[in-house]
């Protein structure tokens, strides 16, 4: 199968400008911007459109798709990232509201349209979201610094400042949750974002919580696992490591 579209559209546009303005010959522009020479010639002579089409037909106009992009990015930033299903639902509804002919099977955009949409808008990426409660989602650097100030003030007011010079006496406890039924899946967000959180209600976090305690000297205390039972079943108790 012949290779297709093995270049960036931005590089092709630069090559076209360089060749049209006489800054470079067609051959040199092709080599400098790493674009196919025959394709560059075809675009310069008007045999093919300058802007290439990627993927299936967009159905929606460029402005309409840009509204979707803005909605996706702003929703992700607010902690409510859009899923593939939500996007296709919105496109289906939009086509209906616009009274536009719907060419999709079952009147709903399919995988090929979704892939084409992501190709047309490389600023959007599909990644796995992590659930985060609203309280944790609202944590700011200012609030964290305020917490440390309160702790230091407490130690100072009670003449406990000497503790700060002894790492073995400075402990920190944090929790980690093992979700029993993870609900988070892939969502759409700005390309390059490594971690995306979905803000959820506290009662949606069905999980086991483990408390981890360690001190500033690196000593880790035995972890504590919190179960939702009034009495821990024997088969669970027997399988927990003794340490």
148-196 pLDDT per residue, tens: 899 889 888 888 888 888 889 889 898 887 766 655 567 666 666 655 5
130 beta partners: 197
CA atoms within 13 A on the CB side of 156: 6
Residue 209 exposed, middle or buried by CB count within 10 Å (0-12, 13-18, 19+): middle
Q: Which of 126, 201, 211 is nearest to 172 (CA)?
A: 211
| Residue 45, pLDDT above cutoff 70 | yes
Domains of the chain from N-terminus onward: 1-52 (1.10.10), 62-122 (no CATH), 132-183+206-239 (no CATH)
Could you read off the pLDDT of 79-133 as tens digits, one per residue?
A: 778 888 889 889 888 888 888 888 887 788 888 888 888 888 888 887 766 655 5
Residue 145's pLDDT band (cuts 50, 70, 90): very high
Total number of residues shown for the chain? 243
| Residue 55, pLDDT above cutoff 50 | no
For residue 124, the model assigns a pLDDT of 85
For residue 164, the model assigns a pLDDT of 85
Q: Which of 111, 112, 64 is nearest to 90 (CA)?
A: 64
For residue 3, the model assigns a pLDDT of 42
Both tokens of 192, joined, read: 């390059």
Both tokens of 140, joined, read: 């700011």
| Residue 231, pLDDT above cutoff 80 | yes
Which of the pair, 120 or 201, is modelled with greater confidence? 120
């Amino acid at each position: 199968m012949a290779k297709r579209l093995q270049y960036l559209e931005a590089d092709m546009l630069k090559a076209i400008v360089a060749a049209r303005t006489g800054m470079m010959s067609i051959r040199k522009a092709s080599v400098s911007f790493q674009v196919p020479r025959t394709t560059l010639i075809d675009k310069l002579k008007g045999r093919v459109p300058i802007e290439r089409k990627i993927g299936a037909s967009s159905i929606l106009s460029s402005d309409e798709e840009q509204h979707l992009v803005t909605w996706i990015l702003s929703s992700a930033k607010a902690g409510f990232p859009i899923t593939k299903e939500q996007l296709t639902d919105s496109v289906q509804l939009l086509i209906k509201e616009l009274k536009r002919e719907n060419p999709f099977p079952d009147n709903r955009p399919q995988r090929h349209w979704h892939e084409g949409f992501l190709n047309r808008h490389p600023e959007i990426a599909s990644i796995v979201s992590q659930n985060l409660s609203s309280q944790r989602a609202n944590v700011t650097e200012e609030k964290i610094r305020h917490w440390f100030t309160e702790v230091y003030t407490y130690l100072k007011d009670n003449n406990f400042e000497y503790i700060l010079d002894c790492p073995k006496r400075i402990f920190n406890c944090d929790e980690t949750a093992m979700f029993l039924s993870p609900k988070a899946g892939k969502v759409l967000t700005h390309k390059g974002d490594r971690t995306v959180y979905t803000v959820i209600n506290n009662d949606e976090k069905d999980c086991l919580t483990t408390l981890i305690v360690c001190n500033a000297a690196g000593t880790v205390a035995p972890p504590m696992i919190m179960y939702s039972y009034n009495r821990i079943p024997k088969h669970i108790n027997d399988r927990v490591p003794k340490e």
